[in-house]
Amino acid sequence: MPSETVLRAEGYRRRRDRLEGWEVGIASYKLGGRYCCEVENVSVGARLARGEGTTREEAEAEALKRARELLVRTRVYPSR
Amino acid sequence: MSQYADPEVLVDTGWVAAHRGDPNVRLVEVDVDTGGYDQGHIPGAIAWNWTTQLCDTLQRDIIPPDEFRRLMEEAGIANDTTVILYGDNNNWFAAWALWQMKIYGHSDIRLMNGGRRKWLEEGRELTTDVPQIARASYTLPDEPDFSIRAYLGDAQAAAAQKSAVLVDVRSPDEFTGRILAPPGLPETCQRGGHVPGARNIPWAKVCNEDGTFKSADELRALYEGEGVSPDRPTIAYCRIGERSSHTWFVLKYLLGYPDVKNYDGSWTEWGNLVRAPIERAAA
């Protein structure tokens, strides 16, 4: 039976920020030599975007770019 | 501190690490974005895609019985298999899978507390290897258990005749109609607001910062403080029924409410109906 490739998320970090007026959670970690980043809506709890890169900054930049593109489309309706 | 009503339905990450290789245990990662599974998953876990495998892809519905049976068999799940579900977004879609498996009568299904995020945070083993699964045989019950599913008529009766307590588990901005969908996600309704009479108890209030469930005492205080008690039928809804299946799980299994339904039509159904009454009061 072939042996499995075992990975572990290393250096897992979470922080909150604001993006296009919305509060987001940003999680990043290293996995198998690559950095991964996930951006989620804080108010809803849904993941918006993910990114990967050779550095944490690169992974975050990619995920944040994608999340910003999605968030900017959100329409806010006046109360009535 | 009191225990959960049915503590068996929840396992922690340590239990999964110790039992993931047990012959009668099947681990399933349930995501809406299966990129997470491809990146790395718990060794031995298979993947289910909520969009294509846990929903009818023709009409809006749960998967039909024959497809459900095939899904179980291809996953190597027999009627007596212990199924451990976990996933992204704090187990939303894992909870949907659990709800659907309960409709089709599977007895031993459990959620991994904290979901995928907690496993990653703890630096536990992951792999990109996809396990080879031997097909199993699965027998469906004579009738699905639709007592845990609310349809439009149930929600209408709850709004008009107060036949059940309605719990809207979306964010306050969705509840008040300020936005029509979670920020960044596509709008799937024509109107914003909520079903008249619904209480807004966002799903995330049941979770700790690390994504695990709050204690039974905290959960009871949360819901009873909002007038949601076990002596009345309860219907949970959200936008498409996945966040509300998470709340359904909490009310049904962690708090033991006897009559809880998930209205999977949710706001995507109600918010598109012609002449459906809508409230936009503050959350």
Establish if B130 belongs to a structural domain.
no
Of the three residues B88, B121, B154, the one that is the final residue of a domain is: B121
> How many domains does chain B fold into?
2
CB proximity under 8 Å: B 70-99 to A: 88-90, 92
Q: Which positions in chain B touch A41 (Cβ < 8 Å)? A: 182-184
For residues B47 and B113, state if they share a domain.
yes
B161 in the same domain as B101: no
Identify whether residues B170 and B262 lie together within a single domain: yes
Residues B113 and B222 reside in one and the same domain: no
Rounded to whole angstroms, the Cα distance separating B179 from B240 reads 15
Give the containing element (helix H, strand E) for B173: helix B172-175
Cα–Cα nearest to B121, from A53, A11, A15, A57: A11
Instruction: Judge whether B141 lies within some domain.
Output: no
Is residue B2 in a domain? no
Q: What is the pLDDT of residues B196-230, one digit of tens each?
A: 999 999 999 999 988 999 999 999 999 999 999 99
B185 in A contact zone (CB under 8 Å)? yes
Chain B partners of A9 at a C-beta cutoff of 8 Å?
Answer: 40, 120-121, 123, 126
Mean pLDDT of successive 10-residue stretches along chain B, which has 283 residues: 90 98 97 89 96 94 97 98 95 96 98 96 96 97 96 98 97 95 92 97 93 96 97 97 97 98 98 96 69
B136 vs A: CB within 8 A: no
For residue B123, the chain A residues in CB contact (below 8 A) are 8-10, 12
- pTM of the entire predicted model: 0.96
B224 lies in the same domain as B150: yes
Q: Is B281 on the interface with A (CB under 8 A)?
A: no
Give the DSSP letter of residue B2: P
Residue A1 has pLDDT above 60, yes or no: no
Q: Where are the domains of chain A?
A: 10-56
Residue B170 shares a structural domain with residue B99: no
Q: Is B17 on the interface with A (CB under 8 A)?
A: no
> Domain with B92 in it: what CATH number?
3.40.250.10
- In this structure, are B213 and B263 located in the same domain? yes
pLDDT digits (tens, 9 = 90+) for B162-186: 999 999 999 999 999 999 999 999 9
Per the CB < 8 A criterion, the answer to whether B262 and B234 are in contact is no
**What is the structure's pLDDT at A46?**
83
| DSSP notation for chain A | -PPPPPEE-EEEEEEEEEETTEEEEEEEEEETTEEEEEEEETTT--EEEEEEESSHHHHHHHHHHHHHHHHTT-------
| Whole-number Å distance between alpha carbons of A7 and B259 | 43
The domain containing residue B87 runs over which residues?
Answer: 7-121
In a domain, residue B131? The reply is no
Same structural domain, B154 and B109: no
Q: Which two tokens stand for residue B16?
A: 């999964």
| Residue B1 maps to a domain | no
